Amino acid sequence: MVEDESDIGIALPSGLAADGNAVDVVGDGRAALDWAETYPCELVVLDIVLPGMDGRDGPRIPGDSLAGADSPGIHDSGRRWPR
């Protein structure tokens, strides 16, 4: 999970772990790309609004991948978007 808000970075992983999932949390997009090089992911929950690198940019960077090509990803945001 890539999330810079500590409340969300604690609550959501706790719920996922309660269902038997292993969850790791990093705080920004660049750290997530570095982390994923060492620890392959089966699923990425990616915050859209992150410091440094916007969460929408990570999956589009050539040669970088947070999850394998066949792995799903979910974008999340605590931001209220206009309708």
β partners of residue 75? 46
Average pLDDT, the chain: 77
Let me know: does 68 contact 41? Beta carbons within 8 Å: yes
Let me know: does 72 contact 43? Beta carbons within 8 Å: yes
The model's pLDDT over 35-47, given as tens digits with 9 standing for 90+, comes to 878 887 788 888 8
pLDDT classification of 62: cutoffs 50, 70, 90: very low
Given a cut of 70, whether residue 14 has pLDDT beyond it is yes
Q: In the predicted model, what is the mean pLDDT of residues 38-59?
A: 76
Query: Pick the residue with more confidence: 53 or 68?
Result: 53
CA 40 to chain centre: 13
Buried (b) or exposed (e) across 20-49, using 16+ Cβ within 10 A?
eeeeebbbbbbebbeebeeeebeebbbbee
Given a cut of 90, whether residue 18 has pLDDT beyond it is yes
pLDDT of residue 22: 92
